[in-house]
């Protein structure tokens, strides 16, 4: 038992006012909230995309374990065309990019003509769109000056 009586305490909860730093951080968080939500969505799509990528590689491994008839000779011819392209492309770095890719494309189009036509159509459309965008950009720069 206490010899002295304790005085009755009257306590009140007083909330501290926010400092300028806390208010600034709060405003920044509210402004950045849509962007962080967008980043979270992108992260979700990227992680699901990596799952698709792993599925793609597992299917590729299965395909290489059980290839269709004549796949490896075709692959050898296309790869050899790329090596010949590297051999012919002495000197320029641009040649080292263009020659092997061109010769491999020609070799692949001999074995897979339908896919080559489909790729050529898409590539032609893309090149046309890019050239049109470049033309518009140059024209707008020319008119501004």
Spell out the residues 6+ positions from residue 29 whose beta carbon is closer than 8 angstroms to its own. none
Q: Torsion over CA of 63, 68, 73 and 78, rounded to 10 degrees? A: -60
Give the span between the Cα atoms of 125 and 121, in whole angstroms.
6
- 94-131: pLDDT as tens digits: 989 999 999 999 999 999 899 999 998 999 999 999 99
pTM of the predicted protein model? 0.49
- 22-68: pLDDT as tens digits: 888 889 989 989 888 888 887 777 766 666 677 778 888 888 888 88
Give the span between the Cα atoms of 76 and 47, in whole angstroms.
35
Instruction: Show me where the domains of the chain are located.
Output: 21-66, 69-111, 112-144
Q: Is 14 left (phi over 0), alpha (psi -120 to 50) or beta?
A: beta
The helix-helix angle for 113-144 and 93-111 (nearest 10°) equals 140
């Amino acid at each position: 038992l206490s010899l002295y009586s304790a005085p009755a305490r009257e306590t009140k909860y007083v909330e501290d006012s926010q400092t300028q730093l806390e208010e600034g951080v709060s405003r920044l968080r509210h402004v950045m909230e849509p962007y962080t939500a967008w980043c979270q969505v992108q992260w979700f799509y990227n992680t699901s995309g990596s799952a698709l990528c792993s599925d793609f590689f597992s299917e590729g491994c299965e395909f290489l374990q059980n290839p269709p008839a004549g796949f490896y000779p075709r692959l050898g011819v296309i790869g050899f065309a790329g090596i010949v392209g590297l051999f012919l492309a002495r000197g320029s770095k641009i040649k080292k990019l263009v020659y092997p890719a061109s010769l491999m494309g020609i070799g692949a189009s001999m074995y897979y003509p339908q896919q080559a036509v489909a790729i050529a159509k898409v590539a032609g459309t893309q090149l046309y769109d890019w050239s049109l965008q470049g033309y518009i950009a140059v024209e707008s720069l020319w008119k501004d000056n």
